[in-house]
Structure 1
């Protein structure tokens, strides 16, 4: 059994504090202060609720071993099993029932780490039945059931017990206390997690016969440290349900670069979930590992694998191209492999000297660019693609001076032809007041016209889907008739009312045209038309959300085909593509971002359609994730007009 070396990994500094310590590990645990008064608090809790504890041991169906252990712990002498029973029962009475909390502090300060380790192991084997009414209280040893609870143990509790064990002066006592309790694969798994230096225990746990669905395989990831462990782990465990940053930090702290291929191969069972991918990408790019990338390339059909492979390609492009070339030679080209090749000519130029002629030839048919592909000069592109407004919000244009207009009708009912007046609208003002916080009743707003209904519809335009849909329906019904009602606020003083009304005017302009909206304001003179021009033009470019949408990892420009500028002579720089993607994300709602049309006009239509279709394809590959602005993928396909790219 070979213990692995620990080459340096480029990991975030904050990961070190998440490592579950191990005796002799390279990351030394920070000292932990345990509460010396916790034992007294637990004793008082037991005295106060002694009758409740006894109720879990009725005359019939009682586990005598557990009852005797509990009684002995309370009267004769400390017993880890009895201590575990008390935590199980009294856990029903504390706020955080899945925390060890003061129990762990009491076990360590009063009886030492060896006792605490044994009590933790025993607790992971127990379950209980409990109802407030009737005699339905039981404590039993149910190893699989207990480990289901163990899957919910708070990681800070686990880190505290591992720290206490790793730093104790009586480590042999801990080994001895756990050794006598390793009577089943379930117990061996917990024991190997608590003392991972017992590498033979870890091996036995990994080789044991477990059900296919095992809820605490994350313990294995915290325990492995040898090449044999890694081989067994790869055979037994996919990415765990409870895999998190701390698990990754602990795993890599023990296994180093050798662990990266196993991590890369862990996707097939569960797939890479969006919440886990950023940390997994950080781990996989912590060191150059061609073998890890090869494992990813073998599982590109698994949801979420392509973004991770893309992260490796971006970090180590030369190694990645060589690895993709070798994989292509074995398995043939594919759209998924093509998506991973760099789409930025500048990257190809940087790595050209590190690649062989065979590498270039193997990837030639899958890539659209190479070292000789020209890149557009930013000076030749619209500023929206090189220096967009969200990079300098402080330069937003000032609103024009307010234009005074006569106050429009406040509220009236307008029924359509052939539409019977609804008798429930006896007090439309009261009904409107009720609707302010009830967009689910938005259909009741439809016949209402005037200043106040227009304000409500405008305020709903950028809210959640239910409110947004009600707003769209109202504006679809009243159309350009609503322009004078909106103008009262849109031409007024800056503030929330003006912002909402201005956005509503942009909505109408998108559906009816700028000229049609301007015609409705012509009677208010040149000042009003000038203000409208600002609202629909410069101000619209800075009408941005407080938090800008983030490009999801699967839509990174490096995973999408290049976009050629309008003449087809050069490709857009990577930064310009990022800005275009941001505009598409901003255009998910009914109104496209004001600068999107200008940006699209700067692009070659055919390459833009390929780009749009690739966004949809990547979205499909990761399971149509709802990352970024909701609905932006089908929306961008509509706006760009990519033939056949809009999903059904």
Structure 2
């Protein structure tokens, strides 16, 4: 392909204003009976046309042509008058029936002339009366109509562009007689842009209005020069996709600076971007490519830049090398290696050197044969024609009664949720939504208010969200019987107000299955927000919804997975009515959920839980799994082209996945359930797979972070490790409330699940400035702690890394002839002392006298330690400060293991005063306990350890800490906090 010629992409056709000899526009199809449709419209409006013609405010010169047209004479001006009055259309209307009817009845030349005259009319409309008068626009007016570049005008130009040669020449000739005013000259130049002399004439006196009309007529860079400052951006309406793409086709690469100005100046708008970036990416010029490269930080520009790299591969090699974009160049060369080698001699010296370095560093690992790959990567089920299984519905299958399965303490915690009440309800029975108090009202006031509400509900009144909050604390004997009848069928308004996060928890904890219909309605309306309410319930309706979410709704999938984990084999009975019922979406989701359970628990566990229907479930599992998965095979975009990604090595690292297998691997990673991931992961080198997943994630970010491709984040959680977690956590800190990727990123950290990943997640929960992220990160940490049978703080104790420190909390750095020791101050900042114990300003760099192997390694280890401790230390100091304020208690065993015996936490713990059984103590240098008299202290075996209350401390502690030169990490001594 010639990279200096504009090739109009096919997806432009729907936007282009077609020009004769240019790219084809949308296919022309003349509707049947077009002429008759227009004639009928005019006949029906004859009385109205006559009334307008009789008005004194109507221009006299319009009367005779209109009456001539009504009498059957083909007069273009008369046809325009009739259309303006009877059809109530202007040249900017989307109503194309008149240009079609005129063309069918009198030919395209007549239609073009009538359209030109229509653009010159100024109809006056009155509400309820239609058009009441007509006049001609001023001779110097340049405004054909508002939004002229849409609707029937584009249809008229398309009809002309598709006309035969003779018809077109006739149209040009006849239009020449309709160019008497500035406005008509502009319209005729638009209709037949092949008359570039007409277009150039308009450029010399450009219109103040109707700028988009002239833009779509331009055909040369010289015309831009004639227009001069007129081309500077003033009206954003000129940058619709139709205008911009037509301008690009007509003028070509010369418009690149105009597009750059618009991108930098205009307020972001999705429709506007479509035209501006679409045109810029197709322009065959180095300047256009550089404009995109310079704006690579704009997430909307990146996908267009990537498309341009594919469209102009040689230009991309040259420009990427010139700009020093090594990462992009490396990806591009990997995708076009043969081309890069072929054009290498013709590249400028700098580009040639850059490409040569990249080609020379490609790992020489052969591709594995298909026979050596797992089937999911060589011949996956979604790549094979799937036989449609025959299934018979089981009739009369009864749904089991709903039941609740609560985690330890969960129901009690939900029941204690604080509920917001409007005080006017329990004092005077009013409905003041603004007088809100976050306190529980008096019991007698609630009872009386609830009796009034119960009577109203029985009479047919609907509950509002605030009234539901009142119910959450209402008397059970009144509330329970009415719960199921409270909710209207169409209650889309209902979930949009109030705080159901609070009171629905209380209702479900108190009334369980009776409150379930309410929770189901909330969950159906907003699955992501309210889906968690259903997780404790094993119920047929809940099961069908969870199966549907698992199969179809990625955003709510985590609730379905939580539900399956919660209920295990107990999820099978409520799934059976849908899975063995009639075909449809509910059955597909339930089948999918049963297959998922079989993958988690084993086939026998699922068929056994199905009881008497075990054989039917076994048959479903036998024939259904591949086909069910195939229903949900995700479509991966071109941005994940295997050629643009690092190679994935097999275990042993001596062979790599071929490109086709890499594409299948990407599909496996994109699947929301990760069903085939274990099979694929077993075949691949873990480090190579981790880097591949990270590269996918980075390309997703480069291509605009589309929410539809959030699976790249989920993939990090499935194949990532500590290194992935350390890279991901800083990125999560840049996301906040409203970023859809934030929650998925937190899920990825939780899914990695290592101590390092959970420690970073805990740090996000304590540090991140976005309240939403703090809350969501905290929820995931609490869940991880519950799975280990711990509290959140107990888990945090166990997550603090030791950083390979010596048991005494120090680290020795061996340079060979020299040795240094690392210590920590009260804020866990590492410092270095020499062999004599002298504290140094910084660790010396290795010198020629030091061991050439030991010294650099020791220095690098200290740099890593500084970096890692810097990330951990503030969180740990703050965590202990919060523990002091909250009065947290440790068992003696926990205190010894996770504080006294921990090589890092020891440095904080020894600088604080602790308490056991009413006795305050500190940690001595040998890690024994000493009281305020500096006597040895041994707590009882069952003692609970707390941080000493600042308000009840003996003042002598201040002197002791001063004598031992112990500085505290936060104020404790001499305070009354």
TM-score, normalised to structure 1, is 0.70
In the TM superposition, what is the alpha-carbon distance from 1:599 to its structure 2 partner?
2.8
Q: 1:574 to 1:154 in 2, by over 3 A?
A: farther
In the TM superposition, what is the alpha-carbon distance from 1:72 to its structure 2 partner?
3.6
Indicate which of 637, 651, 666 corresponds to 1:581. Answer: 666
Name 1:118's counterpart in structure 2.
113
- Alignment partner of 1:376 is 2:374: no
Indicate which of 175, 187, 207 corresponds to 1:190. Answer: 187
Matches within 5 A, 1:330-369: 332-333=324-325, 337-338=328-329, 341-344=332-335, 347-349=336-338, 351-356=340-345, 358-363=350-355
Q: 1:496 to 1:422 in 2, by over 3 A?
A: same
Indicate which of 66, 69, 83 corresponds to 1:73. Answer: 66
Q: 1:152 to 1:359 in 2, by over 3 A?
A: same
Deviation digits for residues 7-46 of structure 1, max 9, x if unmatched? 8969779979988353xx3889999898998667645533
Name 1:199's counterpart in structure 2.
196
In the TM superposition, what is the alpha-carbon distance from 1:284 to its structure 2 partner?
4.0
Are the counterparts in 1 of residues 215 and 247 from structure 2 also a CA contact under 8 Å? Answer: no
Are the counterparts in 1 of residues 99 and 115 from structure 2 also a CA contact under 8 Å? Answer: no
- Alignment partner of 1:307 is 2:303: yes
Matches within 5 A, 1:149-188: 149-153=148-152, 155-164=154-163, 167-168=166-167, 169-170=169-170, 173-181=173-181, 183-184=182-183, 187-188=184-185
Matches within 5 A, 1:540-579: 540-546=625-631, 548-569=633-654, 572-579=657-664
In the TM superposition, what is the alpha-carbon distance from 1:313 to its structure 2 partner?
3.5
Determine the C-alpha separation between the residues in 2 that align with 1:622 and 1:542: 31
Name 2:401's counterpart in structure 1.
411
Indicate which of 620, 633, 638 corresponds to 2:717. Answer: 638
Deviation digits for residues 200-229 of structure 1, max 9, x if unmatched? 332344565567x97736x634x3444524
In the TM superposition, what is the alpha-carbon distance from 1:630 to its structure 2 partner?
6.0
SS in structure 2 of the partner of residue 393 of structure 1: coil
Determine the C-alpha separation between the residues in 2 that align with 1:403 and 1:57: 72
Determine the C-alpha separation between the residues in 1 that align with 2:104 and 2:257: 38
In the TM superposition, what is the alpha-carbon distance from 1:577 to its structure 2 partner?
2.9
Higher mean alpha-carbon deviation, 499-508 vs 445-454, is at: 445-454
In the TM superposition, what is the alpha-carbon distance from 1:152 to its structure 2 partner?
3.1
Q: 1:603 to 1:625 in 2, by over 3 A?
A: same
Name 2:764's counterpart in structure 1.
none
Name 1:3's counterpart in structure 2.
none
Are the counterparts in 1 of residues 572 and 609 from structure 2 also a CA contact under 8 Å? Answer: no
Name 1:514's counterpart in structure 2.
601
- Alignment partner of 1:393 is 2:392: no
SS in structure 2 of the partner of residue 394 of structure 1: coil
Q: 1:14 to 1:145 in 2, by over 3 A?
A: closer
Determine the C-alpha separation between the residues in 1 that align with 2:81 and 2:273: 36
Instruction: Report 1 or 2 for greater relative contact order, CA contacts < 8 Å, sequence distance ≥ 6.
Output: 1
Determine the C-alpha separation between the residues in 2 that align with 1:534 and 1:566: 35
Determine the C-alpha separation between the residues in 2 that align with 1:334 and 1:316: 18
Deviation digits for residues 296-345 of structure 1, max 9, x if unmatched? 445544554443443444455445323432x32xxx3365x44752334x
Name structure 2 gaps, 5 residues minimum. Answer: 416-475, 486-512, 733-740, 743-977
Deviation digits for residues 450-473 of structure 1, max 9, x if unmatched? 546534543454345798688668
Matches within 5 A, 1:249-288: 259=252, 262=255, 266=259, 269=262, 284=282
Are the counterparts in 2 of residues 300 and 306 from structure 1 also a CA contact under 8 Å? Answer: yes
Determine the C-alpha separation between the residues in 1 that align with 2:272 and 2:706: 8
Matches within 5 A, 1:447-462: 449-451=538-540, 453-459=542-548, 461-462=550-551
Determine the C-alpha separation between the residues in 2 that align with 1:99 and 1:242: 19
Determine the C-alpha separation between the residues in 2 that align with 1:484 and 1:37: 61
- Alignment partner of 1:484 is 2:561: no
Name structure 1 gaps, 5 residues minimum. Answer: 1-5
SS in structure 2 of the partner of residue 410 of structure 1: coil
**Count of paired positions:** 603
Name 1:88's counterpart in structure 2.
84
In the TM superposition, what is the alpha-carbon distance from 1:69 to its structure 2 partner?
1.6
Q: 1:314 to 1:49 in 2, by over 3 A?
A: closer
Determine the C-alpha separation between the residues in 2 that align with 1:532 and 1:440: 34
SS in structure 2 of the partner of residue 551 of structure 1: coil
Q: 1:131 to 1:622 in 2, by over 3 A?
A: farther
Q: 1:604 to 1:294 in 2, by over 3 A?
A: farther
Name 2:949's counterpart in structure 1.
none
> RMSD of the alignment, in Å?
5.8
Are the counterparts in 2 of residues 114 and 174 from structure 1 also a CA contact under 8 Å? Answer: yes
Determine the C-alpha separation between the residues in 2 that align with 1:18 and 1:348: 35
Deviation digits for residues 524-583 of structure 1, max 9, x if unmatched? 799959976994x99545433547543234444455455444555555433333223323
Deviation digits for residues 323-371 of structure 1, max 9, x if unmatched? 432x32xxx3365x44752334xx3245414314743422467x59856
SS in structure 1 of the partner of residue 628 of structure 2: coil
Higher mean alpha-carbon deviation, 526-535 vs 161-170, is at: 526-535
SS in structure 2 of the partner of residue 148 of structure 1: coil
Are the counterparts in 2 of residues 69 and 81 from structure 1 also a CA contact under 8 Å? Answer: yes
- Alignment partner of 1:599 is 2:680: yes
Are the counterparts in 2 of residues 561 and 614 from structure 1 also a CA contact under 8 Å? Answer: yes
Q: 1:179 to 1:607 in 2, by over 3 A?
A: farther
Deviation digits for residues 100-137 of structure 1, max 9, x if unmatched? 32455336744x65553233234345565646436895
Please tell me whether Structure 1 or Structure 2 has the larger radius of gyration of its CA atoms: 2
